Amino acid sequence: MLCEECREKNAVVFLKLAVNNKVTEMNLCPACAAKKGMGFGLESGAFNISDIVGNMSGYFKDFLPPEKKTLRCAACGLKYSEFKESGRLGCPECYAGFEPQLTELMSRIHGSSQHAGRACRGGPELKLSKAETCRRLDELRAALKEAVAKEDFEGAARLRDALKELDG
């Protein structure tokens, strides 16, 4: 397959981008890829994933819609395009100013924009999987046997209560 830019050399960089539900494919030779800021060390044979991610940030700017390029934080003046390049917000007000874009970004990265991890103390009960519950029950039963063998009856009573609570 020939390079789509120069139409002379064989394409060795195959790039597929999906931006705003629009898929764009490019097939480039190493020289044309380097011109576009995507030199991955292909010429020398060295391949580093951090180079790919770092070098492609400039390429993604071309695919941003105009409203995202000019979007600014009202408090600090940070442009959305600058946030996309650096990955850092300028102030607490940026969260409110870029809320729709950040929500979309978090959904794409994490699958959801709402935190679904473990709850803090005093919060709602943590739901354990069946495998995790079985594992914890086995650990508690082993600890209970050990406490009874050591004649630590107070500790055994606490473990017995924990077993009942987890098993119930």
pLDDT of residue 118: 64
Closest CA to 10 of 34, 25, 41, 32: 32
pLDDT of residue 165: 87
Q: Are 30 and 39 in contact (CB under 8 A)?
A: yes
For 20, 48, 49, 56, 108, the CA distances from 23, given in Å and listed in that order, are 8, 25, 22, 16, 16
Q: What is the pTM of this model?
A: 0.33
Residues 80-130 pLDDT 10s: 888 888 888 889 999 888 888 888 888 887 777 777 766 555 555 667 778
- Give the pLDDT band (50/70/90) at residue 24: confident
Measured between alpha carbons, how far is 55 from 162 in angstroms, rounded to an integer?
53
pLDDT at 57 exceeding the cut of 70: no
Which helix H or strand E contains 142, and what residues bound it?
A: helix 130-149
